[in-house]
């Protein structure tokens, strides 16, 4: 083989090696580029996810803040509403109480009718046959009349004989009656003040809970 031929073969080998190296380098570069793109995409996705997470966290905190504020306002509104309703209801009750007391002081027919109902209700709630009805001094005569009338009614309606004694030991500004058995084992308080206390205790919570 001549020198010229060897030279050609050597150049061909060099070219082949260079071409192979170029292909390998190109592949490495392409793979590196793909890897770079994958890294960038991953970084972008992570950045997007983080941004979304932060935005969602901001929205979540904003919602919580708004809900807290609304809840506070709702509680404040309900408290103010209850206070106002309480004032209105108690004002109406006080007006009614004053009116009833004025009627009681007049001792007119309306009060007499109410007093009769108070006495009858109280007597019917005492099981003993010996009963004491306590009223104020001014009402004693009326209560004695009413007690006799009720005793007759109870005898006719329930076939029950009762002995009623009327005492005037209530204060002059206390209207209505306190009824108890002669042995003081049974009591029924039916004064006007106790009735109002009962109505407030029994019905005020229900009135306050009702929606306007």
pLDDT digits (tens, 9 = 90+) for 78-136: 888 888 888 998 898 899 989 988 888 888 888 889 999 999 999 999 999 999 999 99
- b/e sequence 138-154, b meaning 16+ C-beta within 10 Å: ebbebbbebbeebbeeb
The alpha carbon of 36 is separated from its chain's Cα centroid by a whole number of angstroms, namely 62
Say which CATH topology domain 107-209 has: hypothetical protein PF0899 fold (3.30.2320)
Q: What are the boundaries of each domain within the chain?
A: 1-81, 107-209
* Top-confidence residue, 40 or 97: 97
Q: Is the pLDDT of residue 27 over 60?
A: yes
What string of DSSP letters covers 23-61? HHHHHHHHHHHHHHHHHHHHHHHHHHHHHHHHHHHHHHH
The pairing of strands 163-170 and 176-181 is unpaired
- Please tell me the pTM assigned to this model: 0.62
């Amino acid at each position: 083989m001549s020198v010229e031929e060897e030279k050609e073969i050597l150049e061909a080998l060099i070219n082949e090696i260079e071409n192979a190296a170029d292909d390998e380098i190109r592949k490495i570069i392409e793979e590196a580029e793909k890897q770079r793109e994958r890294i960038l995409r991953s970084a972008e996705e992570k950045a997007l996810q983080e941004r979304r997470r932060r935005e969602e966290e901001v929205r979540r905190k904003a919602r919580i803040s708004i809900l807290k504020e609304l809840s506070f306002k709702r509680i404040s509104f309900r408290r103010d509403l209850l206070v106002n309703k309480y004032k209105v209801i108690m004002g109406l009750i006080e007006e009614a109480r004053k009116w009833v007391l004025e009627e009681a002081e007049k001792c007119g027919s309306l009060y007499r009718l109410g007093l009769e109902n108070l006495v009858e209700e109280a007597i019917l709630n005492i099981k003993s046959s010996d009963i004491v009805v306590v009223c104020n001094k001014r009402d004693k005569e009326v209560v004695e009349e009413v007690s006799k009338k009720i005793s007759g009614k109870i005898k006719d309606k329930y076939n029950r004989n009762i002995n009623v004694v009327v005492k005037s030991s209530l204060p002059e500004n206390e209207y209505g009656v306190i009824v108890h058995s002669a042995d003081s084992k049974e009591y029924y308080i039916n004064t006007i003040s106790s009735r109002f206390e009962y109505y407030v205790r029994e019905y005020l919570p229900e009135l306050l809970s009702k929606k306007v």
